[in-house]
Amino acid sequence: MLQTVVHGCIDIPYVTAEQSMLFSLKKKELPEQTDPPSLPIVELFPSGEFPEGEIQQYKDDNLWRTTSEEKRGLERLEKPVYNSVRRAAEVHRQVRKYIKGILKPGMLMIDLCETLENTVRKLVSENGLEAGVAFPTGCSLNSVAAHWTPNSGDKTVLQYDDVMKLDFGTHVDGHIVDCAYTVAFNPMFDPLLEASREATNTGIKITIDCCTPIADCIQRDGDRVLWDILLRVEVHDWAVDKLRALMERLYIVLIIRDLEGNLKALGIYGRLRSTLTESGIDVRLCDVGAAIQEVMESYEVEINGKVFQVKSIRNLYGHSIGPYQIHAGKSVPIVKGGEQTKMEEGEFFAIETFASTGKGFVREDLECSHYMKNFDVGHIPLRLPRAKQLLATINKNFSTLAFCRRYLDRLGETKYLMALKNLCDAGIVQVCWIVTFRIETIFRVFSSWRASIENFFEYHEMTDDRRLRFAKIKLVGLAQMWCYGLEGHIRRLELPWINKWLAMKAKLQEKYMPFRYPITDCFVKVCEQHVNSRPISNVFEECMQRLDAISL
């Protein structure tokens, strides 16, 4: 028991020599994190209280949530949940710091992912569904926007000119922390990274916590609001559109020149402006998207001497997060014009921004590496015993958390692809498709098609006529796939032709068949769009060289 000596109005604790020595020993016993990190977070914080992150205080009409005893009582009831999230967040922070220190060109992507995930497992004290990795590590490169992780045996290497989106998550008791950042070694991409970082910070901070009460206030005092105040606002201020939208709700707008009217109008305007720049509850998700787009698209980036405007990806979103549910139903857009859905009290959100030098649109690839059990699925009868066995493994180890084939391999599962496909076809497991831009998809399909012809000719003795017919069939199928899939959208880009494609087209015509399909337009426009991109140029030159080596 500590003895206390009263000194004035301040209680100063009096500590004996024995107690002082005991405290110093306890302080020395507290461990520090190793390098590389290996100590569980619970050992670094034996009190069970984990560090708090940045807290945005309530403002204006939501300030009562801070002073209300009832609200503070409800907050205390949520303390175990917040503490679980903070534990997962501290794990994420330490792993993120460690990985940033070891990242370098030349690393195998699979080694990077396994190092990261194993570090998470150590620090979070992995224990079945109580704590562990929340979803597979996404390490999407270049024009792959999201949801790519290497499968076992993948030999992809991180290059100096790559732009990698590193996305990983941790969870404690199902409370998920989802955080991602972009890595680029070439300083040429720094403006692109800065645009995404600033847009993300804007999305976190820009909310409208009391827009509706103020709108009602303006509507009641519509005859006192000055229209010319709006006309004097900077045209670059994204809040102008919001203010004008509110003004449209007024029945009558009069220009009042008296001092009292001006002061009242300025006061209303000031309150409304403050709500557009502070955090709180009841934010409309469309307003978050508008703010993100405004910041994102104010940046430009110069790549190989060509200047590109940074654009927000209009069909990628942030999302709400629930217990054991990475996508809980609400989407946070990163462009303006979204739905009027509001953030509600007690919800968790991942504000995710995607910056691009392209057209601001992505598509789902034909490949997948992430899987996840459907959160709302009921009982579905399965006929394959192997599918039932695999589902039991998924329920035991992942429940509704995302997983990948590497995770199944780690659990000792073998020959499970047919069973996994059966679960996907039945709707029990949903596929998280890899999200890419069109350029690499087209070149990858073309390269795989050419390689398949080479391998077929290598292992089968064929006459020249049979080889020609085989090549024609492959070309027809490939051209039809492009024509009905990707080429239609790329045609709308209206980009000019390039001379290098004409040379490739001539070689194809000479070796295989007369070109009668719109595949040519597809390649022409894609190559022109990315002619200054070094990785794509390398692929193009490789295509030319390997094409020359083919003999019929």
- Domains of the chain, with CATH numbers? 187-209+280-360 (3.90.230.10), 212-275 (no CATH), 363-374+394-436 (1.10.10.10), 438-549 (no CATH)
C-alpha atoms less than 13 angstroms from C-alpha of 474 in its C-beta half-sphere? 20
Please list the residues that pair with 139 across neighbouring strands.
166
Band of residue 288 on the pLDDT scale cut at 50, 70, 90? confident
178 is in an annotated binding site: yes
Terminal-to-terminal C-alpha distance of the chain: 92
Cα–Cα distances in angstroms (integers) from residue 26 to residues 47, 123, 261, 450, in the given order: 12, 22, 65, 67
State percent of the chain over pLDDT 90.
Answer: 24
Which whole number is the average pLDDT over 193-212? Answer: 65
Query: Is the separation of the CB atoms in 342 and 284 below 8 Å?
Result: yes
In angstroms, the CA 327 to CA 342 distance is: 16
SS3 288: helix
In angstroms, the CA 174 to CA 323 distance is: 5
147 is in an annotated binding site: yes
Which whole number is the average pLDDT over 303-326? Answer: 85
7-21, 172-186, 246-260, 301-315: lowest mean pLDDT where? 246-260
In angstroms, the CA 326 to CA 432 distance is: 12
pLDDT at 195 over 60: yes
The runs of H, that is alpha helices, within 401-498 are 405-410, 417-425, 438-459, 464-484, 487-491
pLDDT at 7: 37
Band of residue 213 on the pLDDT scale cut at 50, 70, 90? very low
Band of residue 469 on the pLDDT scale cut at 50, 70, 90? low
Residue 51 token pair: 């560090």
Which whole number is the average pLDDT over 309-314? Answer: 82
**Whose structure tokens read 């990315």?**
530
pLDDT at 508: 52
Which whole number is the average pLDDT over 50-75? Answer: 75
521 is in an annotated binding site: no
Q: What is the residue-averaged pLDDT of the chain?
A: 69
| Cβ neighbourhood burial of 86 (10 Å; 0-12, 13-18, 19+) | buried
pLDDT at 256 over 90: no
Q: pTM score, two decimals?
A: 0.64
352 is in an annotated binding site: yes
Band of residue 423 on the pLDDT scale cut at 50, 70, 90? very high
Query: Is the separation of the CB atoms in 306 and 351 below 8 Å?
Result: no
319 is in an annotated binding site: yes
Which whole number is the average pLDDT over 124-145? Answer: 91
221-230, 306-315, 363-372, 379-388: lowest mean pLDDT where? 221-230
Which whole number is the average pLDDT over 302-315? Answer: 81
Band of residue 137 on the pLDDT scale cut at 50, 70, 90? very high
pLDDT at 451: 52
